[in-house]
A and B are shown apart, each in its own frame.
Chain A
Amino acid sequence: MGGGPRAGGGVVAHPAAGDHDPVLLVSSVSRSYGRQRVLTDVNLGVRPGELVGVVGENGAGKTTLLRILAGQLRPDGGTVRVRGSLGYCPQQAVVNEALTVGQHLRLFQVAYRLQNDHRARELAERLGLTRYERVPAGVLSGGNQQKLNLVLALMHDPAVVLLDEPYQGFDWETYLRFWDLADDLRARGRAILVISHLAHDIERLDRLHRLRAGALRGPGTEDRR
């Protein structure tokens, strides 16, 4: 299976490796849970420097799609290709409650095999997390756990960033700082796919896709630039 890219749904024509060609290419992806078909035919391409949103009703399959893109779930059909490194920020903060913020950064620095933690420190500083360096993740507020979740996804400066409702629990200031950070990533040529609340974020996206009936389509699939 897998088929080539098709028209509609924000699809990219071909996977050439130029600067403006997509670094994330999704072709005809489908996925079912038992008899329930969650994704039927998802096609999507995201180029460097693009900030693309996916919206959909509860249970539409947004998180399933993102987990497939992150390589955590195998699709029943179709292909996913990623060019460069990948950063995935899951909806629920995936942290170790016993470890402090500083220990998380050290652990992921060795996991990503980074020479230094400069980028991680910069992100922690921008999101206001530095003061909690010695605090175990288990006693952080939900918002601060989410900040740590985001820092862990971005600290290796990935080429493709997948964000699943990344600002849940953020206060207003942090929410604005998050979008500054997203703009910064976009300016640096990173490709960003974000599952987003339609009400607040639609004007911040380059393109918006609506996940409906298992596919990316509908009037929301317009180019906003």
Chain B
Amino acid sequence: MRTAGTVAWLTLYELSRNRLAMLLLLVFIPVWISLAHLVFSPVPLDFTHRSTGTLLQVSGRELTMISGSLNAVTLLMGFLMFSATRRARMFDRRLTDAGCPRRALLLAKLVALTVGSLLVAGWATLVMLAYWDVRQPWLLYLALVVSGLIYGGIGIVLGVFLPDDLEGMFTIIMVSIIDLALQNPIANPAADAALIVYLPNYGPMQLGVAAGFTDLVPRAPLLNSLAWCVGCGLVGLVVFHLRTRRHHSAEGPSGTRQQGWSDPVRP
């Protein structure tokens, strides 16, 4: 428990030291949402709200604010977790070699992902509320939190494979653009193709629209988002397990001598 607590605390500390992410948090999120509010027209658009089976007439401006805030949260959390995972690859390996339980490292990443998503989504929700009297603010907050969790999870998975921040940022931006553009009726007037339900931000977008324009709390997008979170979590878990496994064990608990030989490493 002490190990898990120390690792989690230092992982959070490390995230807070990411200056680019902090700059994006303070500047990018309010600028994006403010521009969406100022630039886009409030002309009503048809939005297919699949999770409730209704065709909603929504303001293009406010729909773009939802889309923009999701975009900002996904980019920020994706980059933050990608960067932290990539930089810690060798260091995590060293910690597990030293005897740090892998579950403590995984728990620390989970804590960082959750705390990061709660804070970033909270900030984005507050900025949104400055411009728009949202019908269900808590549901909007939930939409942004799960969006952050999903893209943070994607960031962790990418962080295991991609070598540099540039590749990671580029991949996350591309995925996020495809994801949200396909669901936005301004970019895609139909925006109702069946494939849309498989996009990572499908659940958060549906929840966000329900929060902004209805009094409903749809369950299907929540389950969809949960499936994405669990999927990313499982992939991350397997990859992390493979990357940090040891091929021989020299000791029991680190720092204590084991009598006799370790199991021999064999091909």
Which residues of A pack against B, CB within 8 Å?
A: 1-2, 15, 17, 25, 68, 70-86, 88, 90, 94-99, 103, 106-108, 110-114, 136, 152, 156-157, 159-160
Q: Please tell me if the beta carbons of A85 and B257 are within 8 angstroms of each other in the complex.
A: yes
Q: Please tell me if the beta carbons of A72 and B247 are within 8 angstroms of each other in the complex.
A: yes
User: B-side binding surface: helix, strand, loop or mixed?
Assistant: loop
CB-nearest residue of chain B relative to A2? Answer: B266
**Cross-chain pairs A/B with CB under 8 angstroms, 22 sampled:** A17-B261, A68-B265, A71-B250, A71-B265, A73-B247, A81-B261, A81-B262, A83-B258, A84-B257, A85-B254, A85-B255, A85-B257, A85-B258, A94-B91, A94-B94, A95-B91, A107-B10, A110-B100, A111-B254, A112-B255, A113-B255, A152-B94
Q: Please tell me if the beta carbons of A80 and B265 are within 8 angstroms of each other in the complex.
A: yes
With contact pairs A84-B257, A86-B251, A96-B87 given, residues A76 and B95 touching in the complex (Cβ less than 8 Å): no
Q: Please tell me if the beta carbons of B17 and A98 are within 8 angstroms of each other in the complex.
A: yes
User: A-side binding surface: helix, strand, loop or mixed?
Assistant: loop
Q: Please tell me if the beta carbons of A81 and B264 are within 8 angstroms of each other in the complex.
A: yes
Q: Please tell me if the beta carbons of A103 and B261 are within 8 angstroms of each other in the complex.
A: no
- Determine whether B41 belongs to the interface, using a CB cutoff of 8 Å to chain A: no
Q: Which residues of B contact A159 (CB under 8 A)?
A: 257
Q: Please tell me if the beta carbons of A71 and B95 are within 8 angstroms of each other in the complex.
A: no
Q: How far is the CB of B94 from chain A (nearest CB, A)?
A: 5
Q: Which residues of B contact A156 (CB under 8 A)?
A: 98, 254-255
Which residues of B pack against A, CB within 8 Å?
A: 2-3, 6-7, 10, 13-14, 17-18, 87-88, 90-91, 93-95, 97-100, 246-251, 253-262, 264-267
Q: Which residues of A contact B260 (CB under 8 A)?
A: 17, 83
Tell me the complex Cα distance, A88–B247, Å: 14
Tell me the complex Cα distance, A75–B264, Å: 11
Q: Which residues of B contact A114 (CB under 8 A)?
A: 255
Contact residue among B87, B95, B246, B248 (Cβ-Cβ distance under 8 Å from A107): B95
Closest 3 CB pairs of A and B: A111-B100, A86-B250, A82-B250
Q: Which residues of A contact B253 (CB under 8 A)?
A: 113
Q: Please tell me if the beta carbons of A112 and B98 are within 8 angstroms of each other in the complex.
A: yes
With contact pairs A81-B261, A99-B13 given, residues A106 and B6 touching in the complex (Cβ less than 8 Å): yes
Contact residue among B3, B94, B261 (Cβ-Cβ distance under 8 Å from A82): B261
With contact pairs A83-B262, A98-B17, A107-B6 given, residues A71 and B254 touching in the complex (Cβ less than 8 Å): no
Contacts across chains A and B counted by CB atoms under 8 Å: 130
Tell me the complex Cα distance, A97–B260, Å: 37
Q: How far is the CB of A220 from chain B (nearest CB, A)?
A: 26
Q: Please tell me if the beta carbons of A82 and B98 are within 8 angstroms of each other in the complex.
A: no
Q: Please tell me if the beta carbons of A160 and B250 are within 8 angstroms of each other in the complex.
A: yes
Q: Please tell me if the beta carbons of A85 and B256 are within 8 angstroms of each other in the complex.
A: yes
Tell me the complex Cα distance, A106–B90, Å: 18
Q: Which residues of A contact B7 (CB under 8 A)?
A: 107, 110
Q: Please tell me if the beta carbons of B2 and A110 are within 8 angstroms of each other in the complex.
A: yes
Q: How far is the CB of A161 from chain B (nearest CB, A)?
A: 11
Q: Which residues of A contact B247 (CB under 8 A)?
A: 68, 71-75
Tell me the complex Cα distance, A82–B249, Å: 8
Tell me the complex Cα distance, A109–B212, Å: 50
Q: Please tell me if the beta carbons of A71 and B99 are within 8 angstroms of each other in the complex.
A: no
Q: Which residues of B contact A111 (CB under 8 A)?
A: 3, 95, 98-100, 254
Tell me the complex Cα distance, A17–B93, Å: 29
Interface centre among B3, B94, B249, B253 (most CB of A within 10 A): B94
Tell me the complex Cα distance, A113–B250, Å: 15
Tell me the complex Cα distance, A96–B249, Å: 24
CB-nearest residue of chain B relative to A115? Answer: B255
Q: How far is the CB of A21 from chain B (nearest CB, A)?
A: 10
Q: Which residues of A contact B100 (CB under 8 A)?
A: 110-111
Q: How far is the CB of A173 from chain B (nearest CB, A)?
A: 27
Q: How far is the CB of A213 from chain B (nearest CB, A)?
A: 20
With contact pairs A111-B254, A112-B255 given, residues A74 and B265 touching in the complex (Cβ less than 8 Å): yes
Tell me the complex Cα distance, A110–B88, Å: 17
CB-nearest residue of chain B relative to A106? Answer: B6
Contact residue among B6, B250, B256, B265 (Cβ-Cβ distance under 8 Å from A79): B265
Q: Which residues of B contact A71 (CB under 8 A)?
A: 97, 246-250, 265
Q: How far is the CB of A11 from chain B (nearest CB, A)?
A: 15
CB-nearest residue of chain A relative to B14? Answer: A98
